């Protein structure tokens, strides 16, 4: 009985929002707010539990709205997931674009170091992105293919290109580019997916700005100490 009363109340609220005379900008703001709440809730739940384990009902409950709002705004859970990833990538993109000018004029090695630090900062700011990628990366699915082609391939390509430039300039030894890119991106990402483990083991909060800077410096030092320590066997640079 209580559920029916609650549903009826919610229906009345929605009807009032659509009532003639209600300012359009207020109604639009209400719709936008509901959409934002659903996106925020879905990001947290997808990161914590994975796509398959989360229902639209759970997302709606976490957002404080009715389940029908999920379908009204997104049509399906799959579409909501795509929109959630787009939201996360937009946040990351703002950080990368804001720092793009810092790369101008840098030599190849310093450019790579700046890119690594930027990646660490982006992952620290949006650890749910890393957790979702880890969740999706365990099994080949259409979602993973979409994620790779839409976002991951262009992102990895930035590091691939920077590594080619550094190798062509003789700044670092030639190594298989995919090996180096994977080493860099894994080092800069996985600790944020395993944040709870790191915190329990060492009592370290990796989202603390000072810790983020320290972690980025450590990754840069370790990666380049290895890259520059001794010449590697020359291998063809991948196209």
- Where are the domains positioned within the chain? 2-75, 82-229
CATH superfamily placement of domain 2-75? Homeodomain-like (1.10.10.60)
pLDDT at 64: 96
- pLDDT of amino acid 222: 94
For the 82-229 domain, the top CATH level (class) is: mainly alpha
So what's the pLDDT on residue 228?
Answer: 80
pTM, full prediction? 0.79
pLDDT at 19: 47
pLDDT along the chain (239 residues), means of 10: 38 42 58 93 96 97 96 96 94 72 86 93 92 94 96 93 94 94 94 91 92 95 84 52
How high is the pLDDT of residue 226?
85
pLDDT of residue 105: 85
Helical segments of the chain, H only? 2-18, 24-49, 56-63, 68-74, 77-98, 108-125, 127-137, 142-147, 153-168, 177-193, 195-202, 209-229
């Amino acid at each position: 009985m209580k559920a029916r009363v609650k549903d009826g109340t919610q229906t009345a609220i929605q009807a009032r929002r659509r009532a003639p005379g209600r300012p359009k900008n207020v109604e639009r703001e209400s719709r936008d707010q509901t959409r934002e709440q659903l996106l925020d809730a879905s990001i947290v739940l997808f990161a914590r539990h994975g796509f398959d384990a989360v229902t639209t009902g759970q997302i709606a409950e976490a957002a404080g709205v009715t389940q029908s709002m999920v379908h009204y705004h997104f049509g399906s859970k799959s579409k909501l997931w795509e929109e959630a990833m787009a939201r996360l990538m937009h946040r990351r993109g703002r950080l990368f674009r804001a720092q793009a000018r810092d790369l101008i004029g840098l030599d190849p090695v310093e450019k790579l170091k700046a890119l690594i630090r930027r990646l660490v900062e982006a992952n620290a700011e949006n650890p749910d992105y890393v957790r979702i990628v880890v969740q999706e990366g365990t099994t080949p699915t259409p979602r993973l293919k979409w994620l790779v082609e839409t976002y991951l391939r262009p992102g990895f390509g930035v590091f691939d290109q920077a590594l080619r430039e550094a190798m062509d300039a003789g700044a670092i030894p030639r190594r298989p580019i995919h090996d180096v890119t994977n080493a860099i991106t894994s080092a800069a990402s996985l600790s944020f997916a395993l944040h709870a483990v790191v915190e329990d083991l060492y009592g370290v909060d990796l989202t603390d700005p000072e810790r983020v800077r320290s972690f980025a410096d450590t990754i840069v030092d370790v990666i380049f100490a290895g890259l520059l320590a001794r010449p590697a066997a020359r291998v063809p640079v991948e196209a």
